[in-house]
Chains A and B, each alone.
Chain A
Amino acid sequence: MSLTQILFWFLTVLTVFSALMVVVSKNPVYSVLWLIFTFFCISGHYIMLNAQFLFIVNIIVYAGAIMVLFLFVIMLMNLNESAEPKKHRWLRMAGVVAGGCLLLVLVAALKNTDIKKQVAETNTGDIGLIQNLGKALFNEYVLPFEVSSILFLSAMVGAVVIGKKE
């Protein structure tokens, strides 16, 4: 096994394990911390695929901004294990069975596709660098980029309007 393969399997196992811990953890604060860990593992996958811009944006935006927002809200509400609502055992089991069925169908459908002989290039290729992505973003995708600023403005106004005490 080459170093890339070892790193891939290590990151994959860590990613799936921490994603499972997000769902399994009883305490919401632990769930958030495991989710941050999952995002770091996914960022590791990005850097293996040489998508350096997305690696840094994933850490800054997801692990940095979004998860801190989640932590703030959880601390604001003072949630802990005793306040955690519990679903009925049969309902939980039904949820797991439904998810397992989806997993089974997706894996069975994609197991024998032609695409599986193809390879995603790791460690090489320069489309993920900031220079190339920036050129494409400000030439072909300049309109969606500007529209997303309007989306942010409306989200900001919406959050303030909803969160305001009337």
Chain B
Amino acid sequence: MPINYYIFLSIALFVIGIIGVLTRRNAIIIFMCIELMLNAVNLMLVAFSKMHHLGNAAKDAAAGIDGQLFVFFIMVVAAAEVSVGLAIIVMMYRNIHSVDVNFLNRLKH
């Protein structure tokens, strides 16, 4: 498939994630939209790694393998991030009995 299609698909997914972060107030939904953006980037990295492999396979049989390993590490970091982030959201719910991010403005005063 032409790399163009993958680029535009990733842009669409990323922008949907950003719109979700900007338009929703539920902290969990905002968190899920961040996951969506991470996945858009992952898809882009895999598509680019396959493109690079097709162009350079004659010189180097393992060309493009770095891109897929980066995706693996992004997944590792995302898993760690989710565990800590959800713990923070649970603690916030325990304290203010809501997941509305508009109540998180105490630092302002």
Contacts and interface: CB of A to CB of B under 8 A. Distances in A.
B36 A133 contact: no
Contact of B22 (A22, A99, A132, A137): A99
Contacts of B88: 162
- The interface size bin for chain A is 35 or more
A39 B80 CA distance: 18
Contacts of B28: 28, 70, 73-74, 79
A163 B13 CA distance: 32
A19 to B, nearest CB: 5
Given A8-B5, A57-B72, A120 B47 contact: yes
Interface of B: 1-9, 11-13, 15-20, 22-26, 28-29, 31-33, 35-36, 39, 42-43, 46-51, 53-55, 57, 62-66, 68-69, 71-73, 75-84, 86-91, 93-94, 98-100, 102
Interface of A: 4-5, 8, 12, 15-16, 19-20, 22-23, 28, 31-32, 35, 38-39, 42, 45-46, 48-51, 53-54, 57-58, 61-62, 65-66, 69-70, 73-74, 76-77, 79, 84-87, 91-92, 94-96, 98-100, 102-103, 106-107, 110, 115-122, 125, 127-128, 132-133, 136-137, 141, 144, 148, 151-152, 154-156, 158-160, 162-163, 165
